[in-house]
């Protein structure tokens, strides 16, 4: 049976476009750090072990794409530097990081568990990503979701 997805083009796919920004190995690690409150270059570099030039490039891309913004700061007696803050576009990536964390915890964690967790500030319960349709129904299984052309889909030409 031929999949229906072959009938529409993926040339303008937003998953592919997002991965152009997020798909490099260190990008989600940088975002994890900023979401955790680690906003300064040297702190990120030391904490993660990301090579200096790689971190410079990742931060530049995230700023250029509007995911992060640079905020100036100056320690007494030091030169002007910048720290990195999430924009609204960056904050919208939080569920993505929580989903990746959940997947990693399920399949890749050490026997003693994950070194990182996320909790609801008000009650302290673990935070997880859940899928729900626009009408509010929980979607528990991948088979409960059907891919279909979106409003920007283009009919594929043979």
Question: 16 vs 3, 23, 45, 78, 123, CA distance in Å?
Answer: 20, 9, 28, 41, 37
Lowest mean pLDDT among 59-68, 117-126, 147-156: 147-156
Query: How far from chain centre, in Å, is Cα 42?
Result: 21
Set out the domains of the chain in order of their start, with CATH numbers: 4-144 (1.10.10.10)
Residue 95's pLDDT is 96
pTM: 0.87
Mean pLDDT of the chain: 93
Helix ranges (H only) for 26-93 are 27-35, 41-48, 52-64, 88-91
> What per-residue confidence (pLDDT) applies to 1?
85
Q: Is the pLDDT of residue 156 over 80?
A: no
pLDDT at 126: 95
Percentage of the residues of the chain whose pLDDT score is greater than 90: 80
In this structure, how many other beta carbons lie within 10 angstroms of the beta carbon of residue 93?
21
């Amino acid at each position: 049976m031929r999949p229906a997805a072959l009938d529409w083009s993926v040339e303008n796919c937003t998953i592919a476009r997002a991965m152009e920004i997020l798909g490099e190995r260190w990008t989600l690690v940088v975002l994890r750090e900023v979401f955790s409150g680690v906003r300064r270059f040297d702190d990120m570099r030391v904490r993660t072990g990301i090579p200096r030039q790689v971190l410079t490039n990742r931060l530049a891309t995230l700023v250029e794409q509007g995911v992060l913004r640079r905020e100036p700061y100056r320690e007494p007696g030091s030169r002007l530097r910048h720290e990195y803050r999430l924009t609204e576009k960056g904050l919208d990536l939080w569920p993505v990081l929580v989903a990746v964390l959940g997947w990693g915890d399920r399949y890749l964690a050490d026997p003693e568990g994950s070194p990182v967790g996320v909790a609801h500030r008000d009650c302290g319960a673990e935070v997880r990503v859940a899928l729900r349709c626009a009408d509010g129904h929980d979607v528990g299984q991948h088979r409960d979701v059907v891919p279909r052309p979106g409003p920007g889909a283009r009919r594929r030409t043979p």
